[in-house]
Amino acid sequence: MAIVEHLYPLTGAVLVGLGLYGFLTLRHPLRQLLAVNVVGAGIFLILGGLGRGADSTDPFPQALVITGIVVAVALTAFGAALILRVAEDERAPDGTAADDTNGNHP
Amino acid sequence: MNEFLPLLLVFLPFVPALISFALPERMAVWRDVINISFALAKLALVGFLLLSVEDGVTTEWRYEFLQGHDFILRTDAFALLFITLSAFLWLIATVYAIAYFGRGPHLARFFGFFNLCVLAATGVAMSGTTITFFLFYELLTLATWPLVVHKGDEKSLRAGRIYLIYTLAGSAAFLAGIVWLKSLVGTIEFTAPPDLSGIPRLELTLIFILCIGGLGVKAALIPFHGWLPEAMAAPAPVSALLHAVAVVKAGAFGIVRMIYDVYGIDTVSELGLGTPLAVLAGATILYGSFRAVMQTDIKKRLAYSTVSQVSYIILGASLIGPFAIIGALVHLVHQGIMKITLFMCAGALDNRMGIKSVADLDGAGRAMPVTMAAFSIGALGMIGVPPTAGFISKWHLGLGGLQSDAPWVIAVLAGSSLLNALYFLPLLYRAWLLPPSAKLASVRELDGAWNRMLILPAAITALATLAAGAFATFPFSPLSWAKLIAESGYLK
Amino acid sequence: MSPLDLLVAAPLAFMIAALLSGPWGRWWLLAAIPVMAGLTVWLLLLPEGSGHVVGGWTLPLGVQLRADGVAQLMVAATAVCAAIVGLYALHEFAPGADRSETAHGFAFWPLFYLLWGGANAGFLTTDLFNLYIALEMVSLAAVAMAAMGSLRAALRYFVIALVGSLAYLLGVALLFSNYATVDLTLLAEMARPDLATKTALAVMTAGLLIKAAVFPLHGWLPPAHAAAPAPASALLSAIVVKVGFVILLRLWFEAFPAIIAPAGLELLGWLGALAVLYGSVQAIRQDTLKALVAYSTVAQIGYLLLAFPLVATAAGTGGAWAGMTIHATAHMLAKAAMFLAAGLMLKAVNGHHLKDLHGLARAMPLTVAAFGLAAVSLMGLPPSAGFLAKFLLLEAAVEQGAVFAAAVLLVGGLLAAVYLFKPLAWAFAGSDTPVVVAKAPLRTAAPLALALLAVSLGFAGQAMVDITAGSPWAGPPATEAEDVQ
Amino acid sequence: MTITDYIIPTLLYTGVFFYAAGSLGLLRFRDAETRLHALTKADNVGLGFVALAAALHWGSVTAAVKIAAVWLFALMAAGVTAQLMARRAKTGAEQDTIE
Amino acid sequence: MTLAFDLILCLMIIGTAASALLMRNALAAIVFFIVFGNLLGLAWLAMDAVNVAMAEIAIGAGVTGVLLILARQRLMALGDDLVCDEMPGWLRAGALVACAGFAALVGAAVLSVAPSDDLGGPIAALMPSLGIENPVTGVLLAFRAYDTLLETFVLLGALVAVWSLAPGTAWPHPPATLALTEREGHGVAAAFGRLLLPLALVMAAYLVWTGSDLPGGAFQAGTVLAGGLIIAVIGGAVLWPRGDNRLLRVALVLGPAVFLTIGLAGIALGRFLFYPPGFEKALIVAIEYSLALSIGVTLALQLAGPPVTPDHKG
């Protein structure tokens, strides 16, 4: 039965939709980052789930997924740092926390 | 004959352009010397070519910049007519510009772009294909913009903006036209008109309208003339160059090429495109003259006069007949010489005495007799008084109108001459016959080398105006050359 | 031995070197330029279409690299841009006063090489998953560089770029599941017009359109490109957006030309037209210089898409194809030149607005000249490479009777003239010579060289056309004819 | 069927029982300390039973050693986190809560 | 595994994902995300993809979860409560419909493809020549070593990118400390950290070694190492190094550098990233060990965030 074979990739499709909805409706960048990670997980499930044979899973998509996960975490780390720096910058618009090359501390 | 000669001729001004850009202001003398010597060198080169072309030898240089698209420079008789004019007037205008600006600041840029302008104008003349023509035509637009905005004040910037919008829009239309035509008949060389018989009339008409519309912007055909009076904000040497040689002539030149070398007179008359264009040109002539009468600013009056006078060329070209085309070609040269005289004089009056408006002219003839004499010759030429050059043009155009069964042309010419008289004669009257103001009385016209250099070019072109009229039947006169062109190619 | 992998490996090696060298890291550029120049020349000398699978494995397992025309042209243009922008950046991204590292001065260089290597990787590979990684290399470096100017704009860029990457990845996942390969050349042989393929193509295209900042998905570009430091802006506008564009080309014209619906091509063409018009109008409305230049990028990318339907329907001549790729190249050079020139001018007057440029043509004639020459190419005026591209596209449009596309090409050029002559008019305004804060005579050479190249490449038109014609899909009927022989 | 086939499920169910008890405690108890108490103790016992079942299932000494190591790690981690969480709860640094 | 198990697992995955997205409380959302990641790991196990399961749990749930928690904590300290503005209902409904439609489209596309293990056979055929038995490692470090090479540079580049965000005065100081105060239980954590770091090292080494034949490998090992480092930092057993610490730089680039060097050395023998016959396993293991070290340090520093000015509390 198709649905049974496709259970995990279909779950992946649902995750993609859910994550996208979260991305569109959540207006905080960190929450959007989380939503994007959900989308990513969904894509990986599709990639891996459709590479599943009778008794084993194709190692090729597995490798792609691992690569994808690592790339995703690298971007998430950078994104989180960027979000933090934006928040810091907004809290201190006079440049105390930002690039204070002008050095005009009070 | 060396095949690189056309290339050399076109790109010769590039050398003084680069040198002018590079030399610091304190070496201005060197800049002047180099500019003048290159202008002389070019004139010599042109003279050499003139002799060979008269023998029927044309040289060309080709480079395939894209498959199926040749870049061709060719020295045919028509090209040489324009080149001779531009080389001669370049020398004149260079001398005049040096004297006009003296040792003002930021002239490196001016002379650099001035040279590029001449390069582009020469390229326009020598283009052997529509695409080549377009390349130089656009380069001309670009090179003149910095000249128009040279003063940098609000008025010049506005003029520059208007100039760009008009001319670039025109070029876009022209480009669309030539690409369209190319897609129908392939590359068009200006040696013989291509066979257009298989192409729908509507398409041909539309392409013609696109091309003439595009070229008409630079030629200041109504309703595309709006940029020209605005561009008067530029310094006098620029106005002289733009309105006598480079820009408007490039447009008029292009229209002649379109009619005679791209479409061919047979196709044009078969499509019935000549008469509407002639009517438009006639309307421009009258409109321009009429507007000129109403101007109080001398340069503006001259500008509208240009609008009117350039259309004589288009009128002659579109009438399609032996006399008409000769009139058109000869007027290309004559109008150049006369108009540059007028602009140089106007510039000199402004430069020396601050005269800008017609009302300031009272008694100027007594303060600056040589200048005003030159001005008067130019003005009489414009009106068409014999034996000036202008008379020759108008005579041939009138004959051409009769020959082409368009007697209304005579009316246009008469009306225009009347209006010409109406806007030039009051100037002459004021300058010669009214007493000068106290301010003017103190001016010594020819004191100092600078001042003599300022007056000399106008005097030379004024004499040329007389000579072109008086010696019109001599070999190498503009008229004989125009006849040569007409006989060698444009008359079947 | 082959330059294909070295062109990626060398920048990465320099990235490591720069990381290890601390405050001296920037000087590796002087070694990188000759190395990359040599490799690029080598690449250009390769017979077209030559390639290999990395590590000596075979398809469909391995990653295939290939030197086709568009890759050769893009890699070469990238090398020129990166080298010159890098030289310009030597001053801007330098150690602090006491020879100590600064965050930007240190971090720029590894990111610069990452971007360079990533762009080369993207241009040279035929593997869709490998392209994903290349895309991320470039995006990561690009966002970090944008963050050096404005954190806020960078965050916006980052979030949107992330969505674009994931959309692309989703397509890759579907394609792999469907065909058991991610190699373009194999996909081209197997392509079937089924639901999975179409869905994959749609989401990948959407993702790439985001990355290439195509209207209406361009929103992230102007703030990010306008705020970044000049060398970063130059790299972003010149190189980064082109990577997404090249992948789009490969998908639409190499892997799946057979299943692309004409409606899809038309849609892209319309988007391109809207981008040209919208970007130009927005550029006209800007009163800060870098925002103007950034919106110009939005408009210029529109031309690339405008060409899609023209390329697809071109009957063998490949004129539209050549026009499109030459436009990408010309835009690379001209836009990099323009951003660098803008950076110099703004730094010199210590301002951001167009009116701050008042009279600058007298104080910095060479820089203004560089800006003007770059503008000539962007406006598509002769004799620049930009003109050549526009001319070829116009010719294709007229031949195919695509009146609307032809009109957009012409009107777009006019609008470009309107917005580009605005800053130039300010530079020519007045009659006094303004006092500038900082003149950088040596660095002026960078934008000038790029701009001169953009203009003079117009003379090498046929050479570029020949290079780009060496792509497997440069003209579908012609390629088939060659196969028959 | 050998005897291990009966022992393994028995151990598993026992483990699950302890897990269930721990989770129940987490849900039902009032304050942080008692919740921690339920979680750490009951769950680790549960894990122990499951680990034992797994070790028997594989039936090799190396596997058993690895599983024992896993259990020890878990115990240690649970102890440390419980400590830290309890301190946190005590000192009243209460900004990080899930209401 | 039975269908019921798969079904329940999938429903739980979807449920936790929905909770992670829809919870108003950010911490709850992140916790649900971590649970979601772990359940995904289970799903990968159910699909016999143990390598992926380990990566997902360690990196997808673990590292990403810690990243999010840390980011949230620091944002809270800055007065950002991570509460999203409510969107108008009609917009949300529109988004819901659009996303549901999109999910349905993707679902339909997924259903139209029959799952199959197409490349398992060709890969298995090539594995003996590599001398290793874990086919996923084979793909990662042999057939698609080029991808993996680039990916390690993405990871390295991401750290440089994080560093580039440092405020002007902060570089090259260390990132904000994570160490607990005495009152928060510094002593306990320190003891645990000191114990765990060597254990993590051993474990990472084991994971790499076993990764050539059994599930495991550089990425999983690197994550374990990163975890050990983070816990050691929390306990104060290890201090964050300065950004310009030479040893640190060497540790960061070691993996990518070794990988690249071996790749370039391959040119001498034929092709970039070509492993000479007989040396495949040795080279792969060498790459993996160096990578694991670099990945561990890189991930740990990515978690730490950009450097801060010394007097600045993170």
Residues 6 or more apart whose CB falls under 8 angstroms from that of B482 comprise B81, B325, B326, B329, B330, B333
Per-residue H/E/C for chain B: CCCCHHHHHHHCCHHHHHHHHHCCHHHHHHHHHHHHHHHHHHHHHHHHHHHHHHCCCCCEEEEEEECCEEEEEECCHHHHHHHHHHHHHHHHHHHHHHHHHCCCCCHHHHHHHHHHHHHHHHHHHHECEHHHHHHHHHHHHHHHHHHHCCCCCHHHHHHHHHHHHHHHHHHHHHHHHHHHHHHHHCCCECCCCCCCCCCCHHHHHHHHHHHHHHHHHHCCCCCCCCHHHHHHHCCHHHHHHHHHCCHHHHHHHHHHHHHHHHHCHHHHHHHCCHHHHHHHHHHHHHHHHHHHHHCCEHHHHHHHHHHHHHHHHHHHHHHCCHHHHHHHHHHHHHHHHHHHHHHHHHHHHHHHHCCCEHHHHCCHHHHCHHHHHHHHHHHHHHHCCCCCHHHHHHHHHHHHHHHCCCCHHHHHHHHHHHHHHHHHHHHHHHHHHCCCCHHHHCCCCCCCHHHHHHHHHHHHHHHHHHHHHHCCCCCCCHHHHHHHHHHHHHCC
For residues E22, E27, E32, E34, the Cα torsion angle rounded to the nearest 10 degrees is 140
Judged against a pLDDT cut of 50, whether residue C344 lies above it is answered with yes
H/E stretch holding E157: helix E145-164
CA–CA distance, C380 with C330 (Å, rounded to integer): 10
Q: For chain C, give the mean pLDDT.
A: 87
User: Is there a contact between C170 and A61 if contact means CB atoms under 8 Å apart?
Assistant: no
How confident is the model over E79-100, as a mean pLDDT?
85
**Nearest residue, CB atoms, C140 vs list A23, A51, A75:** A75
**Nearest residue, CB atoms, D80 vs list E27, E31, E192:** E192
The letter for the amino acid at C316 is G
Judged against a pLDDT cut of 50, whether residue A95 lies above it is answered with no
Categorize the per-residue pLDDT at C318 as very low, low, confident or very high, splitting at 50, 70 and 90.
confident
Overall size of chain E counted in residues: 314
Categorize the per-residue pLDDT at A2 as very low, low, confident or very high, splitting at 50, 70 and 90.
low
% of chain E beyond a pLDDT of 90: 32
Contact status, residue C46 vs residue C71, Cβ threshold 8 Å:
no
Tally of structural domains, chain C: 1
pLDDT at position C364 is: 86
How confident is the model over B459-482, as a mean pLDDT?
83
**Tokens standing for residue A38:** 């959900």
pLDDT at position C315 is: 54
How confident is the model over B190-207, as a mean pLDDT?
83
Contact status, residue C66 vs residue C123, Cβ threshold 8 Å:
no
CA–CA distance, E127 with E118 (Å, rounded to integer): 15
Q: Which of B296-310, B448-462, C9-23, C406-420 has the lowest mean pLDDT?
A: B448-462
The overall pTM is greater than 0.80: yes
Of B344, B333, B457, B462, residue with least CA distance to B392: B333
User: Is there a contact between C166 and A64 if contact means CB atoms under 8 Å apart?
Assistant: no
Judged against a pLDDT cut of 50, whether residue C241 lies above it is answered with yes
The letter for the amino acid at B180 is W
pLDDT at position B446 is: 67
**Tokens standing for residue E310:** 């010394």
Question: Domain residues of chain D, as ranges?
Answer: 3-91
Burial track C182-192 (b if 16+ CB lie within 10 A, e otherwise):
bbbbbbbeebe
Contact of chains E and A by CB distance (3 or more pairs under 8 angstroms): yes
Closest CA in chain C for residue E124: C61
**Tokens standing for residue C153:** 């704009």
Categorize the per-residue pLDDT at A34 as very low, low, confident or very high, splitting at 50, 70 and 90.
very high
pLDDT at position C169 is: 95
**Contact E229/A at CB under 8 A:** no
Categorize the per-residue pLDDT at C354 as very low, low, confident or very high, splitting at 50, 70 and 90.
confident
E39/B435: higher pLDDT: E39
- Reported as half-sphere exposure (CB side, CA atoms, 13 A), residue C252 has a value of 29
Q: Which of B475-479, C42-46, C241-245, C373-377 has the lowest mean pLDDT?
A: B475-479
Per-residue H/E/C for chain A: CHHHHCHHHHHHHHHHHHHHHHHHHCCCHHHHHHHHHHHHHHHHHHHHHCCECCCCECHHHHHHHHHHHHHHHHHHHHHHHHHHHHHHHHHCCCCCCCCCCCCCCC
Burial of C98 (0-12, 13-18, 19+ CB in 10 A): exposed
Q: For chain B, give the mean pLDDT.
A: 85
Characterise B75 by phi-psi region: left (phi > 0), alpha (psi -120 to 50), beta (else).
Answer: beta
3 state SS of E175: strand
**Tokens standing for residue B101:** 């600006």
Q: What is the pLDDT of residues E260-305, one digit of tens each?
A: 999 998 888 878 888 888 888 888 888 989 999 999 999 999 998 8
Asked if the bond preceding B235 is cis, omega within 30° of 0, the reply is no
* Torsional sign, CA C433, C436, C441, C447: negative
Shortest CA gap D3–chain E (Å): 24
Which range among B197-206, C93-102, E157-166, E223-232 has the greatest average pLDDT? E157-166
Categorize the per-residue pLDDT at E101 as very low, low, confident or very high, splitting at 50, 70 and 90.
very high
pLDDT at position B492 is: 47
How confident is the model over D44-57, as a mean pLDDT?
87
Q: What is the pLDDT of residues B323-377, one digit of tens each?
A: 888 888 888 888 888 888 988 888 888 887 778 888 888 888 887 888 888 989 9
B96/C169: higher pLDDT: C169
Contact status, residue B9 vs residue B82, Cβ threshold 8 Å:
no
Pairing of strands B60-66, C64-67: unpaired
pLDDT at position C333 is: 94
CA E228 to the chain's CA centroid? 14
How confident is the model over B70-94, as a mean pLDDT?
86
User: Is there a contact between A30 and E82 if contact means CB atoms under 8 Å apart?
Assistant: yes
pLDDT at position C473 is: 61
Of C124, C128, C485, C478, residue with least CA distance to C322: C478
How confident is the model over C346-363, as a mean pLDDT?
86
DSSP E139: I
Categorize the per-residue pLDDT at A98 as very low, low, confident or very high, splitting at 50, 70 and 90.
very low
User: Is there a contact between E302 and A77 if contact means CB atoms under 8 Å apart?
Assistant: yes
Judged against a pLDDT cut of 80, whether residue C433 lies above it is answered with no
Which range among C36-45, C357-366, E197-206 has the greatest average pLDDT? C36-45
DSSP D30: S
pLDDT at position D92 is: 60
Question: Domain residues of chain E, as ranges?
Answer: 1-81, 120-126+133-314
Round the CA-based radius of gyration of chain E to a whole number and report it: 22
pLDDT at position D1 is: 60
- B298 domain-assigned: yes
Categorize the per-residue pLDDT at C483 as very low, low, confident or very high, splitting at 50, 70 and 90.
very low
Judged against a pLDDT cut of 60, whether residue B77 lies above it is answered with yes
DSSP E19: H
B306/B245: higher pLDDT: B306
How many other CB atoms are there within 10 angstroms of residue E243's CB atom? 24
Q: What is the pLDDT of residues B413-428, one digit of tens each?
A: 888 888 988 888 888 8
CB contacts, 8 Å: E113 with chain C: 174, 177-178, 196
CB contacts, 8 Å: E123 with chain C: 61
CA B475 to the chain's CA centroid? 23
pLDDT at position C233 is: 92
CB contacts, 8 Å: E203 with chain D: none
Categorize the per-residue pLDDT at E253 as very low, low, confident or very high, splitting at 50, 70 and 90.
very high
Contact status, residue B289 vs residue B305, Cβ threshold 8 Å:
yes
CB contacts, 8 Å: E183 with chain D: 87, 91
Q: What is the pLDDT of residues E5-37, one digit of tens each?
A: 889 999 999 999 999 998 888 888 999 999 999
pLDDT at position C476 is: 46
pLDDT at position A53 is: 72
pLDDT at position A99 is: 41
3 state SS of E205: helix
% of chain C beyond a pLDDT of 90: 49
B287/E211: higher pLDDT: B287
CATH 1.10.357.10 for the A2-91 domain, yes or no: no
**Tokens standing for residue B419:** 């209006």
Round the CA-based radius of gyration of chain C to a whole number and report it: 21
Judged against a pLDDT cut of 60, whether residue B18 lies above it is answered with yes
Categorize the per-residue pLDDT at C439 as very low, low, confident or very high, splitting at 50, 70 and 90.
low
Of B224, B317, B225, residue with least CA distance to B273: B317
pLDDT at position A94 is: 53
- B194 domain-assigned: no
Q: What is the pLDDT of residues C373-410, one digit of tens each?
A: 999 999 988 888 999 999 999 988 888 888 899 999 99
pLDDT at position E121 is: 81
pLDDT at position C77 is: 94
Q: What is the pLDDT of residues E173-230, one digit of tens each?
A: 888 888 777 777 777 778 888 888 888 888 888 888 887 787 778 888 999 899 888 8
How confident is the model over C254-268, as a mean pLDDT?
84
Closest CA in chain B for residue C428: B152
Categorize the per-residue pLDDT at C477 as very low, low, confident or very high, splitting at 50, 70 and 90.
very low
Asked if the bond preceding C441 is cis, omega within 30° of 0, the reply is no
Domain interval for residue B336: 273-492
Q: Measured in Å, how far apart are chain A's first and last C-alpha atoms? A: 72
User: Is there a contact between B66 and C421 if contact means CB atoms under 8 Å apart?
Assistant: no
**Nearest residue, CB atoms, A59 vs list E95, E109, E120:** E120
For residues B368, B369, B371, B375, the Cα torsion angle rounded to the nearest 10 degrees is 130
Of E249, E198, E206, E255, residue with least CA distance to E228: E198
- Neighbouring chains to D with at least 3 Cβ pairs closer than 8 Å: E
C186/B352: higher pLDDT: C186
pLDDT at position D44 is: 85
Contact status, residue B318 vs residue B215, Cβ threshold 8 Å:
no
How many other CB atoms are there within 10 angstroms of residue C81's CB atom? 27
- Helix axis angle, E280-304 relative to A59-91, nearest 10°? 20
Of B127, B126, B163, residue with least CA distance to B144: B163
User: Is there a contact between A17 and E102 if contact means CB atoms under 8 Å apart?
Assistant: yes
CA–CA distance, C247 with C132 (Å, rounded to integer): 10
B454/C176: higher pLDDT: C176
Contact status, residue C135 vs residue C212, Cβ threshold 8 Å:
no
pLDDT at position D99 is: 43
B163/B245: higher pLDDT: B163
- Neighbouring chains to E with at least 3 Cβ pairs closer than 8 Å: A, C, D
- CA separation (Å) from E190 to B78, E231, E232? 95, 8, 7
Categorize the per-residue pLDDT at B445 as very low, low, confident or very high, splitting at 50, 70 and 90.
low
How confident is the model over E166-176, as a mean pLDDT?
84
* Interface with E, mutate which of D87, D95, D99 (most E CBs under 10 A): D87
